[in-house]
């Protein structure tokens, strides 16, 4: 594994026809999660845009690294407030191979609060929910090679 791309703390994965490396990086609010991953070279907050197999792999990774946590960040947000979620690489969540929204999501709300960041919820079958970006959730960083 080339050291310049991923340190040995990253876990290798090839599930989607692309090469991925994943790394668990503690917990934080969404903005901190984003910058934490950016600080790791080519890494970004994990994206869940590659279909069922990749989705299952990401969930399994979450379960093994954060067994007591119910939610964790994926790299999707709507910081430009156009009611359309984008992945951290700029592509639209709607253009993913498959989406995993919970019924009624995205609704850009979390109770009465604005929700512009996306988490996977383990207890709801690993489906996605838009939640408040200030929530403290586990961070999984990804490096993806073309
Ligand atoms: Ca948007
Ligand atoms: Ca919501």
CATH number at residue 69: 3.10.100.10
For residue 1, the model assigns a pLDDT of: 46
Ligand 1 centroid, distance to 8 Cα (angstroms)? 34
Ligand 2 centroid, distance to 114 Cα (angstroms)? 8
Whole-model pTM? Answer: 0.93
Could you tell me the pLDDT band of residue 146, with boundaries at 50, 70 and 90? Answer: confident
Q: For 15-34, what is the mean pLDDT?
A: 96
Ligand 1 centroid, distance to 93 Cα (angstroms)? 9
For residue 75, the model assigns a pLDDT of: 98
Residue 5 lies in a domain: no
78-135 pLDDT, tens digit each:
999 999 999 999 999 999 999 999 999 999 999 999 999 999 999 999 999 999 999 9
Q: In whole angstroms, give the CA distance from residue 67 to residue 137.
A: 13
Residue 29 lies in a domain: yes
For residue 4, the model assigns a pLDDT of: 59
Which ligand has the shortest distance to the CA of 94?
1
Ligand 1 centroid, distance to 68 Cα (angstroms)? 31
Mean pLDDT check: name the lowest of 2-11, 23-32, 49-58, 110-119.
2-11
Indicate the number of domains in the chain. Answer: 1
What residues pair up with 44 in beta bridges, in sequence order? 142
Residue 58 lies in a domain: yes
Question: How far is the first Cα of the chain from the last one, in angstroms, to the nearest whole number?
Answer: 16
Q: For 36-63, what is the mean pLDDT?
A: 96
Residue 1 lies in a domain: no
- Domain limits for position 96: 11-145
For residue 77, the model assigns a pLDDT of: 98
The per-residue pLDDT of the chain, averaged, comes to 94
Residue 2 lies in a domain: no
Which ligand has the shortest distance to the CA of 71?
2
- The count of other CB atoms within 10 Å of the CB of residue 82 is 8
Q: For the chain, state the CA radius of gyration.
A: 14
For residue 134, the model assigns a pLDDT of: 97
């Amino acid at each position: 594994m080339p050291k310049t791309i991923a340190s040995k703390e990253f876990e290798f994965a090839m599930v989607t026809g692309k090469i991925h490396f994943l790394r668990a990086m503690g917990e934080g609010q969404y903005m901190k999660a984003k910058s934490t991953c950016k600080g790791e070279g080519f890494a970004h907050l994990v994206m869940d845009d590659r279909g069922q197999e990749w989705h299952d792999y990401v969930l399994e990774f979450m379960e093994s690294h954060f067994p007591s946590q119910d939610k964790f960040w994926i790299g999707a947000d709507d910081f430009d407030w156009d009611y359309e979620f984008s992945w951290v690489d700029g592509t639209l969540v709607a253009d993913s191979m498959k989406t995993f929204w919970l019924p009624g999501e995205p609704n850009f709300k979390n109770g009465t609060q604005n929700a512009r960041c996306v988490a996977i919820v383990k207890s709801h079958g690993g489906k996605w929910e838009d939640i408040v970006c200030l929530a403290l959730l586990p961070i999984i960083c990804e490096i993806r090679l073309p």
